[in-house]
Amino acid sequence: MIELPEATVLAAQINQTLKGKQVRHAIANASPHAFAWYTGDPATYSQQLAGAVIGEAAAYGNHIEIQAGDRLLVISTPVKYHSVDEKRPQKHQLLLDFEDGTAVSCTVQMWGVMLCLREGQDTGLPDYQIAKQKPSPLSDDFDRAYFDRLMGENTATLSAKEFLATKQRIPGLGNGVLQDILWMARIHPKWKLASLQADEVGQMYRAVKTVLRKMTECGGRDTERDLFGRPGGYKTVLSKKTLGSPCPTCGTIIKKEAYLGGQIYYCEGCQPK
């Protein structure tokens, strides 16, 4: 599912491709999903959005914020563009048809929000609100001093995964992008922060900045798709695509195990337990 790099790429593509298009009608919740969330009754989305002109889009963490007339769309799912002659997907959780015959659809993978809000309306999404307030790791404000302050917030007993990918300490950094960050830092996801040496903390910080920047510049990860359905250009080192393959650095077979409600991928050669 999308995280910070993909949300950033999608927001930029929406600005280039959808800005100025007028919504003809919207369909929400056509394919009900247990973990798809809307604002109020999704049956009202077409009434709210019909005639709206798409404005600026921006990424906040793993959420995409899109101005649509006097409404604000907040989306945390993949967004797919459809040309005039392209067949629309049979299943979707949100479809916007535009006056020029093009469209976009959202399809929830694990979970996702597709909110349609009035200006100033509370989203009820703490993660989204936090992401709007905190500096993005892609920005200059997310510097080493800021990272060290995060490390000092009663985190000594946390594991590397808990620190980086939970509680929205770093908005948009989730379990997906986490894997390559810790591999580059040569830190196992289960290592406790209290056990890290000063140089390892520095490695973790540099990996957060470097890997997220590279993922974004490459158009997202190869496990996700952009607005036009193309896989991202960043080749993941640790992911479902590389499980069971040799590590490109040391040749150790990449492993997976369950941890903290999700999966972790790691190389025992580069990231010893």
Point out the domain boundary residue: 133, 155, 184: 133
Q: Are residues 40 and 80 in the same domain?
A: yes
Burial class for 126, CB neighbours closer than 10 Å (0-12, 13-18, 19+)? exposed
Judge if 226 and 149 occupy the same domain: yes
CA distance 91 to 152: 46
Q: What is the pLDDT of residue 237?
A: 98
Average pLDDT on 191-212 reads 97
Q: What is the pLDDT of residue 109?
A: 86
pLDDT at 51 over 90: yes
The percentage of the chain sitting over the pLDDT mark of 70, rounded to a whole number, equals 100
Same domain, 15 and 127: yes
pLDDT, average across residues 223-245: 97
Q: 42 lies in which domain range?
A: 4-133
Query: Could you read off the pLDDT of 108-139 as tens digits, one per residue?
Result: 988 999 999 998 888 888 889 999 999 999 99
User: Do 11 and 52 fall within a single domain?
Assistant: yes
Tell me if 139 is assigned to some domain.
Answer: no
Mean pLDDT over the full length of the chain = 96
Residue 254, CB-side half-sphere exposure with 13 Å CA sphere: 21
Q: Which of 29, 161, 43, 1 is nearest to 95 (CA)?
A: 29
Residue-by-residue DSSP string for 105-130: EE--SS-EEEEEEETT-----HHHHH
- Do 55 and 100 fall into the same domain? yes
Rounded to an integer, the average pLDDT of 41-51 is 97
Tell the residue number behind the tokens 């479809």, with chain if given: 95
Q: What is the mean pLDDT of residues 231-254?
A: 98
Mark whether 235 and 214 lie in a shared domain: yes
Give the list of residues 6+ apart from residue 184 with CB closer than 8 angstroms, or none.
203, 207, 210, 211, 237
Q: What is the mean pLDDT of residues 93-119?
A: 95
- Residue 151 in any domain: the answer is yes
Confidence check: pLDDT of 205 > 90? yes
**Is residue 273 included in any domain, yes or no?**
no
95, 165: one domain: no
The reported pLDDT for the residue numbered 11 is: 98
Q: What is the DSSP letter of 243?
A: T
pLDDT value of residue 153: 82
**Which pLDDT score is estimated for 259?**
96
Identity of the residue numbered 216: T
Q: Is the pLDDT score of 63 beyond 90?
A: yes
Q: Are 219 and 72 in contact (CB under 8 A)?
A: no
125 shares its domain with 150: no
Q: Are residues 160 and 258 in the same domain?
A: yes
Kindly report whether the global pTM for this prediction surpasses the value 0.85: yes
Of 99, 133, 167, which residue constitutes the final position of a domain? 133
Q: What is the DSSP letter of 63?
A: E
Q: Tell me: do 97 and 208 sit in the same domain.
A: no
Centre a 10 Å sphere on the Cβ of residue 248 and count the other Cβ atoms it contains.
13
Count the domains in the chain. Answer: 2
Is residue 199, in this structure, part of any structural domain at all? Answer: yes
Indicate the pairing of strand 71-75 with strand 112-118.
Answer: antiparallel
- pLDDT of the residue at 179: 98
List phi, psi (to 5°) of 27: -130, 120
CATH number of 232's domain? 1.10.8.50
Which residue in 177, 183, 154, 152 sits closest to 164, CA to CA? 177
Whether 13 shows a pLDDT value over 90: the answer reads: yes
User: Which pLDDT value is given to residue 95?
Assistant: 98
Domain boundary residue, one of 107, 133, 159: 133
Indicate the residue type of 115.
L
**In the structure, what pLDDT confidence band is assigned to residue 223 with cuts at 50, 70 and 90?**
very high
The answer as to whether 203 is a domain residue is yes
Domain of residue 75, CATH code = 3.20.190.10
Q: What is the band of 207 on the pLDDT scale with cuts at 50, 70, 90?
A: very high
pLDDT at position 230 is: 97
Dihedral angle computed from the Cα positions of residues 218, 219, 225 and 231, in that order, rounded to the nearest 10 degrees: -40
Q: What per-residue confidence (pLDDT) applies to 120?
A: 83
Kindly state whether residues 103 and 164 are assigned to the same domain. no
At residue 1, the pLDDT reads: 84
pLDDT score, position 121:
87
Q: How confident is the model at residue 273 (pLDDT cuts 50, 70, 90)?
A: confident
pLDDT of residue 124: 85
Is 271 a member of any domain?
Answer: no
Question: Is 117 in the same domain as 160?
Answer: no
Sheet arrangement for strand 63-68: 36-37, 112-118, 71-75, 63-68, 54-60
The residue type of 108 is V
Show the tokens assigned to 45. 């989305």
